[in-house]
Amino acid sequence: MAEKTYTLSFKQQVSRPLLEVFYFFSRAENLEVLTPPWLNFKILEVNPQPIRQGTLIKYSLRVHGIPLRWTSEIVEWEPPHRFADLQLSGPYKLWRHEHRFETRDGGTLISDTINLALPLGILGELAYKIKVHSDVQGVFAFRENKIRTLFG
């Protein structure tokens, strides 16, 4: 049986210009700024730099105290409007995160679409319903507040 794929979408309007916002999001070190401290997120390697299609980002984090390693690849790169990263190794069966940026209302609209699937079939679906969905929502709520602080 194929694992169920879930899609989560987040949008946020900021009062800063498109190029400034894209530049911030295209720098790997800013992932640490946008990630909640309780995940103990640390970038281990970004190669090659600057980020472009094919860049691999390796990092470590802790999810509910469990240490994890994660590697993502930038699989799409269209500055300053969009890029997408795909988990190559990590806790998910699928994790694809598309970042979009568009000029709107005198600022920039930031849109994120996450496609994710968990391993373990029905157990993964249960984990998503019980904990994973709310965990991802919590991470993006933190991120939204941090972006509001940084960009207005």
The whole-angstrom separation of Cα 46 and Cα 12 is 27
Query: One digit per residue, pLDDT tens: the chain, 152 residues?
Result: 567 999 999 999 999 999 999 999 999 999 999 999 999 999 999 999 999 999 999 999 999 999 999 999 999 999 999 999 999 999 999 999 999 999 999 999 999 999 999 999 999 999 999 999 999 999 999 999 999 999 98
Fold for 5-151, please state it. Alpha-D-Glucose-1,6-Bisphosphate; Chain A, domain 4 (3.30.530)
Sign of the dihedral through C-alpha 127, 130, 131, 134 = positive
Instruction: Compute the distance between CA of residue 101 and CA of residue 87 in angstroms, rounded to an integer.
Output: 21
3-state secondary structure of 99: strand
For residue 72, the cross-strand partners are 57, 87
pTM: 0.94
Is-contact 75 97, C-beta < 8 A? no
